[in-house]
Amino acid sequence: MSSAADKYSAHGFGVANLPYASVTADDRTYLATRLGDRVIDIAALAERIPGLDEVTTCAVSSPNLDELLAAGVEHWDRLRRWLIESVSGQWSAIPVEAASVPVAAVAYNMPFTPADYVDYYASEDHASNIGRMFRPDEAPLKPNWKHLPVGYHGRSGTVVASGTDIVRPKGLLPRPGGIPEFGASERLDIEAEMGFVCGGAPRRHEVTVSEAPQYIFGAFLFNDWSARDIQNFEYVPLGPNLGKSFASTVGAWVVPFAALHSARVDPPRREFPIADYLADGAQAGGPWGLDITLEVDLDGEIVSRPEYRSMYWTPPQMLSHMTINGASLRPGDMFGSGTISGPQPSTRGSFMELSWGGREPLTLRNGAEMTFLQDGQTVTLRALAPGAGGESISFGECAGTILPATGH
């Protein structure tokens, strides 16, 4: 009898991946993993295939990742080993089929409850592009940028699940003469990012770069929607607020950080020596640059393919920086990488860059030109990374459709 892995594995969703999602099907909400086009109820599978300890069994019986995040890396690793063995066993196709449904039969929920949220700015190309547009009379990068991962503490209450509609935000918009006008954003944008969710309970607040993989549970697609006009008027001197806090979308599937070992690459060469707490050489477990290729889909047309491998700062460095001042780390804490952009126009991860601030409209395949998002448009992010055994790892989709501003 064939294994479930042999029967169901498909490109991007094989044994090397086995990501997690919170799904609803047949009026039930549960924690699931995915093998090919089958969405597996993990708790239901555990009833059919023994091997999980009591703590992990209890965690996977929850409707999302919250209890598993709190359980810590020992239980994450146990669960992953058990899942791989459970879908790879010779007779596993029968119990896996009994505990699963087709992917088309599920609706997605937030995979975890966001606690605190930090958004970074880790792409040198993106930071330089935005600097040139927002501060044309200054150097594109501020002096601190290559010495620490620049970020800000964001709003977790409006982090939403993939598929949630995005209502166009309102705020104060800059106008010639310096007097702002209140209204709906006219420069609504995306930020194609990767997100990372943390868990466990560090013994002390400061998590080192070498310890970080024990506390980063997984990675997911992340769209940090941005109202560039609201942002432009408000961001000096304290940074983004209303231009960012209205919505940020988490992808449907969370890929275990442990699944990304085969995607590790060296980050770009650092121009300056970095502080010891950010060092990621061999003694710290080596660098965690990631070979992830994204695509930005606008209403069915791919308009960009950003590459994460060009990011200057890595996830462990970002987590270490989050905690170096003594800030606590809780299960569900998450951080975004910042917009992923490369040196070529085809690798830019925002419409601000793709249209160069609206001055160079993007031409779509139907001949239409666009700068920023219009009501009714849908943006979908996807991504692939190399996985163990030559497999590919898919992050599924991260999608949202723009609705008109309230009162319109």
Helix (H, G, I), strand (E, B) or coil at 382: strand
DSSP-derived letter for residue 86 is H
- 372 neighbors 358 (Cβ within 8 angstroms): yes
Tokens matching residue 370: 């666009």
CA 281 to centroid of chain Cα atoms: 25
Rounded CA-CA distance 32/43 in Å is 8
Choose, from 126, 205, 321, 408, the residue flagged as catalytic. Answer: 126
Alpha carbon dihedral 388, 69, 322, 232, in 10-degree steps, equals 90
Half-sphere exposure of 285 (CA within 13 A, CB side): 16
Rounded CA-CA distance 31/156 in Å is 21
Tracing tokens 């070979």 back to the chain, one arrives at 291
Neighbour tally for 142: CB within 10 Å: 14
Helix (H, G, I), strand (E, B) or coil at 314: coil
Active site (annotated) includes residue 75 = no
In 3D, which of 319, 191, 318, 178 has the Cα closest to residue 243?
191
Tokens matching residue 325: 């001042």
- 336 neighbors 363 (Cβ within 8 angstroms): no
Rounded CA-CA distance 404/272 in Å is 46
Tokens matching residue 189: 């944008």
Q: List, by residue number, the catalytic residues.
A: 126
